[in-house]
């Protein structure tokens, strides 16, 4: 039988895009549970340093995830500085809304390079590190937009739907040592919420948007669950995907 613990003490868990917002909440929750957080950021250095200080025990890693060589370098650094990797949370992402008739190749690549390609290569590099110490757990952050079609966000929806199939395929590829699961948040409002976000909150059965802490709770579940739970998607959307 695999070993499970009710907390994450001593586990090294990398969270991408963890300087602020949802990624920050995930990093703080993992730190509260005893994990040694490997905190990735790209442009938000000051916020990343502040979040790392709040975590207490956290190592900082900077990388532009658009670049596969940068991803490889970052995981080499994680291996060298942390000695092991037990968990990866693929949280970093981009979001744009553009009429599909107007989408350019650059618009498409802007989203897919981070939202899908980087998720795959981070998972690949993480799995190679995890295998050295007997396995681990990967949690990919998808979106309600990966389950439901949003006409002005077709490119974003495709990237987030891609994460869901990637999750299932990698779960099969890497079982039983590495569990791979996904969390699909609904609307998690911040100050930049747009008209569509407000409309979606209005249609949410729970009657409100979600909180970063609620997404972190779902991530925590997969990081502590039996590896018998793999390839699954947990929606955290107040019931909106049921409409």
Ligand X SMILES: NC(=O)c1ccc[n+]([C@@H]2O[C@H](COP(=O)([O-])OP(=O)(O)OC[C@H]3O[C@@H](n4cnc5c(N)ncnc54)[C@H](OP(=O)(O)O)[C@@H]3O)[C@@H](O)[C@H]2O)c1
- Judged on CB neighbours under 10 Å (0-12, 13-18, 19+), 137 is buried
Which residue is nearest to ligand X, using beta carbons? Answer: 17
Number of residues in contact with ligand X under rule CB under 6 A: 25
Cβ 13 to ligand X, closest distance in Å? 16
Catalytic one among 61, 75, 121, 156? 156
Residue closer to ligand X by CB (options 21, 32) is: 21
Residue 156 catalytic? yes
Cβ 2 to ligand X, closest distance in Å? 28
**Measured distance CA(103)–CA(101) in Å, rounded:** 6
* H helix runs in the chain, sequence order: 21-32, 45-55, 68-82, 105-112, 118-132, 154-174, 195-203, 212-224
**Measured distance CA(241)–CA(88) in Å, rounded:** 26
- HEC readout, 42-88: CCCHHHHHHHHHHHCCEEEEECCCCCHHHHHHHHHHHHHHHCCCCEE
Interface stretch with ligand X, choices 64-72, 101-109, 164-172, 217-225 (CB under 6 A): 64-72
Interface stretch with ligand X, choices 13-21, 29-37, 52-60, 225-233 (CB under 6 A): 13-21
Cβ 228 to ligand X, closest distance in Å? 26
Told to check if 64 binds ligand X by CB under 6 A, we report yes
Binding site for ligand X (CB under 6 A): 17, 19-23, 41-44, 64-66, 91-95, 114, 141, 143-144, 185, 187-188
């Amino acid at each position: 039988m695999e070993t499970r613990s009710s907390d994450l003490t001593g586990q090294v868990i990398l969270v991408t895009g963890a300087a602020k917002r949802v990624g920050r909440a995930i990093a703080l929750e993992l730190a509260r549970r005893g994990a040694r957080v490997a905190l990735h950021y790209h442009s938000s250095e000051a916020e990343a340093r502040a979040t790392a200080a709040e975590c207490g025990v956290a190592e900082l890693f900077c990388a532009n995830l658009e670049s596969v060589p940068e991803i490889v370098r970052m995981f080499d650094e994680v291996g060298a500085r942390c000695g092991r990797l037990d968990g990866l949370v693929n949280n970093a992402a981009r979001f744009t809304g553009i009429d599909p008739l107007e989408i350019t190749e650059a618009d498409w690549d802007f989203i897919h390079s981070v939202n899908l390609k980087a998720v795959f290569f981070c998972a690949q590099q993480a799995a190679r590190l995890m295998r050295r110490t007997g396995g681990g757990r990967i949690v990919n952050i998808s979106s309600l937009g990966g389950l439901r079609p949003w006409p002005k966000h077709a490119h974003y929806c495709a990237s987030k739907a891609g994460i869901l199939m990637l999750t299932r395929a990698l779960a099969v590829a890497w079982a039983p040592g590495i569990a791979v699961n996904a969390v699909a948040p609904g609307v998690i409002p911040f100050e930049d919420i747009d008209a569509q976000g407000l409309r979606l909150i209005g249609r949410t059965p729970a009657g409100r948007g979600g909180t970063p802490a609620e997404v972190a709770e779902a991530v925590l579940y997969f990081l502590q669950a039996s590896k018998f739970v793999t390839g699954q998607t947990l929606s955290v959307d107040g019931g909106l995907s049921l409409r």
